[in-house]
């Protein structure tokens, strides 16, 4: 069986990638393949990378509130491209209220500040069907 493949990146002008790099390392240490897109992505970039890479899960690291603006466009772009994989959002600005709102829009899982790395791994594995 191939490892779980996660596409991980940041949306918009958010440039706080330390958390994303730490999560990428955690997922790799757990045996997952991580395609890290880095900073300054737009929804079209994430959707195109998802088509090219075929991930099991898409992860967005958010440390500014731009993800709230871009999520609907991201879901629309993914649907246009025929990509149907879970999207996970995590970061220091994900409040409980925002988490409820974006889950209602289709986000599969959220992680706020101080999330347990083992819980992140278990959740990604579960979403990937492993």
Q: Which of 46, 22, 5 is nearest to 115 (CA)?
A: 22
DSSP 47: H
Long-range contacts from 111-116, C-beta under 8 angstroms, 24+ separation: 115/90
Cα 14 from Cα 28, distance rounded (Å): 23
**What pTM does this model have?**
0.94
Q: Give tens-digit pLDDT for 17-27.
A: 888 899 999 99
Q: What is the pLDDT of residue 120?
A: 97
Q: Give tens-digit pLDDT for 57-96.
A: 999 998 777 778 899 999 999 999 999 999 999 887 888 8
CATH code: domain 5-87+95-110 is 3.40.50.280
* Contact of 124 with 60, CB cutoff 8 Å: no
Q: Which of 36, 38, 30, 37 is nearest to 4 (CA)?
A: 30
């Amino acid at each position: 069986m191939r490892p779980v493949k996660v596409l991980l990146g940041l949306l918009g002008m958010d440039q706080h990638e330390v958390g994303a790099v730490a999560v990428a390392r955690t997922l790799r240490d757990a045996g997952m393949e991580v395609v890290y897109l880095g900073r300054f992505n737009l929804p079209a970039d994430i959707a195109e990378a998802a088509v090219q890479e075929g991930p099991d899960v898409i992860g967005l690291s958010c440390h500014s509130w731009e993800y709230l603006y871009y999520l609907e466009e991201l879901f629309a772009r993914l649907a246009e491209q025929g990509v149907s994989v879970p999207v996970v959002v995590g970061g220091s600005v994900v409040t409980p209220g925002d988490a409820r709102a974006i889950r209602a829009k289709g986000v599969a899982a959220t992680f706020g500040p101080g999330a347990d790395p083992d819980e992140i791994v278990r959740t990604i594995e579960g979403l990937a069907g492993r």
